Amino acid sequence: MGKIKLSGRELDVMNVLWESDKALTAKEISERDSSLSINTVRMVVKGLLNKEFIKVSAIVYSGTVLTQSYEPVLNAQEYMINQITQAVKGNVSHVQVMAALLRQDENEIETIEQLEVMLKKRKEEIAKDMGKR
């Protein structure tokens, strides 16, 4: 995934979509975040569609009018991981980032145990792939 950057308003719209368990129309987005006018949402949605951050999920009725509903293409976690990766690229190693995140984790021991399982599995996958070469 390439470099991803959302403006403040784009992030506002994406947060509404990420928090929803279903696709939303522009009207529904503006209703869920009172700081977003319908006109702002329509403008931002157009830009997010062009950047392929969201997609049209369906054509639905809004009252008596047909309108598009939208859903995110990438989830909030993927966006945050990309932001961290871009912010530290070239300045800090992945290990340093993980260490810093662990120090902020209230369940540090539990997280380390989960990471150990993931790392063991990844090592096995890499060894298996190398054996195929």
Look at residues 21, 77, 19, 17 and name the one whose alpha carbon lies nearest to residue 48: 17
Higher-pLDDT residue of 95 and 48 is 48
pTM attached to this predicted model: 0.71
Band (3; pLDDT cuts 50, 70, 90) = low
Give me Rg for the CA atoms of the chain: 20
d(CA 70, CA 48): 10
Report pLDDT digits (tens) over 46-71.
Answer: 999 999 999 999 999 888 889 999 99
Whether the pLDDT of residue 108 is over 60: the answer is: yes
C-alpha torsion 42→34→64→47, nearest 10: 10
> Across 14-18, 73-77, 91-95, 124-128, which has the greatest mean pLDDT?
14-18
Domains of the chain are 8-72 (1.10.10.10), 93-132 (no CATH)
